[in-house]
C-alpha cells in the first residue's frame, strides 16, 4: 500500500471511484451517495489480544460511529473459531487445530464475510476488502465468490451454502451454473478496493486447489498486495494476483 493509497484513509474514510471499465459484466448503477463497506480478515490464529496484528491496528484507525457513511466487519483468523453448538470442548479444540493447520473451515470464513456483505450492501456502496496471510486469501476468495455467483439480496441465508458450493466448483459446468445462479438470484456488484498483506492459501490438502477467481478477478477496480520477499518458510508460499484488463 503506497502513500497515495494511505492518503485515502484520512479521517477513517476511504474514498474511491470505480473505473467505468472495471468489469466486463453489467453492474448496478449508483442511485445515491453510497457508504464504504470495509471487511477485514485476520491471519492464522490471530484475534484481538495483547499482541494485535496490523489488521486489528488498521481497524482501530477506522471510524466506526458513522453507519450512514461507513460500516466495518472484522473476522478473526483461521483456527480461532468454530460453531460451538456442534462440538464438545475437546472436538472444538481439535477442529480449531485442523482449521489452523489446513484451513479446514475456509468455506465458513468466506461465507461469513459474504453473509455480512449480503445483508449490508445497498446500491452505490463501495466495497473494500483487506486481509493478512490466510485472511488475505479469504479476502480474495470472497471477491472471487462475488464475481462468480454475484451477491444475494439480504436475508437469503439458506442460499449462501448453495452459492458457495457452486463457487468452489472449478469446472466448465461449475462456471455455467455460476452464471445461471448469478443471473437468477443475485446482484452484480463491483469491488472498489482489495488490499492484502502476505497472501497465502494453505498447506496440505488445500494447497493443490486454488479457488476460482482468487488469482485473477476483473470486478476488482484496485488491488494492492504487500509481500514479504524474504520469506523462507516453504509452507507459506506467496499467492500473488494476476493482472486483469480494467484493474489497477
Q: Which residue has the higher pLDDT, 1 or 113?
A: 113
- Alpha-carbon distance of 211 to 170, in angstroms, equals 7
Percent of the chain surpassing pLDDT 90: 44
Cα–Cα distances (Å) from 162 to 78, 111, 178, in that order, read 22, 11, 10
Give the closest residue to 204 by CA, choosing from 232, 234, 235, 231.
235
Q: Do the strands 220-226 and 191-197 form a parallel or antiparallel pair, or are they unpaired? A: parallel
Q: What are 127's three cell numbers?
A: 466495497
Average pLDDT, the chain: 76
pLDDT tens track for 187-221? 999 999 999 987 665 543 444 457 899 888 999 99
The answer to whether 26 and 60 have CB atoms below 8 angstroms apart is: no
- Alpha-carbon distance of 130 to 53, in angstroms, equals 13
H-helix or E-strand spanning residue 117: helix 106-120
Q: What are 35's three cell numbers?
A: 457508504
pLDDT for the residue numbered 226: 84
Listing DSSP states for 79-112 in one string gives TS---GGG--HHHHHHHHHHHHHH-TTHHHHHHH
pLDDT tens track for 91-137? 544 544 444 444 446 888 899 999 999 999 999 999 999 998 888 88
pLDDT tens track for 159-173? 999 999 999 999 999
Domain boundaries, the chain: 36-226
Q: Which residue has the higher pLDDT, 121 or 90?
A: 121
Amino acid at each position: 500500500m503506497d502513500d497515495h493509497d494511505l492518503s485515502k484513509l484520512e479521517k477513517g474514510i476511504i474514498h474511491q471511484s470505480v473505473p467505468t471499465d472495471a468489469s466486463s459484466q453489467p453492474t448496478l448503477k449508483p442511485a445515491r451517495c453510497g457508504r464504504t463497506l470495509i471487511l477485514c480478515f485476520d491471519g492464522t490464529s490471530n484475534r484481538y489480544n495483547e499482541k494485535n496484528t496490523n489488521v486489528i491496528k488498521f481497524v482501530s484507525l477506522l471510524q466506526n460511529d458513522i453507519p450512514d457513511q461507513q460500516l466495518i466487519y472484522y473476522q478473526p483468523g483461521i483456527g480461532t473459531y468454530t460453531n460451538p453448538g456442534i462440538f464438545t470442548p475437546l472436538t472444538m479444540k481439535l477442529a480449531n487445530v485442523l482449521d489452523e493447520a489446513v484451513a479446514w473451515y475456509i468455506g465458513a470464513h468466506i461465507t461469513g464475510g459474504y453473509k455480512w456483505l449480503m445483508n449490508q450492501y445497498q446500491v452505490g456502496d463501495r466495497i473494500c476488502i483487506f486481509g493478512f496471510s490466510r485472511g488475505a486469501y479469504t479476502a480474495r476468495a470472497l471477491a472471487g465468490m462475488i464475481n462468480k455467483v454475484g451477491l444475494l439480496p439480504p436475508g437469503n441465508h439458506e442460499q449462501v451454502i448453495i452459492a458457495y458450493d457452486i463457487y468452489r466448483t472449478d469446472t466448465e459446468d461449475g462456471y455455467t451454473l455460476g452464471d445461471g445462479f448469478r443471473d437468477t438470484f443475485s446482484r452484480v456488484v463491483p469491488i472498489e478496493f482489495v488490499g492484502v498483506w502476505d497472501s497465502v492459501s494453505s498447506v496440505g490438502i488445500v494447497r493443490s486447489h486454488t479457488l476460482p477467481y482468487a488469482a485473477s478477478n476483473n470486478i476488482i477496480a484496485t488491488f494492492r498486495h504487500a509481500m514479504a520477499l524474504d520469506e523462507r518458510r516453504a509452507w507459506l508460499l506467496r499467492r500473488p494476483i494476476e493482472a486483469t484488463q480494467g484493474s489497477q
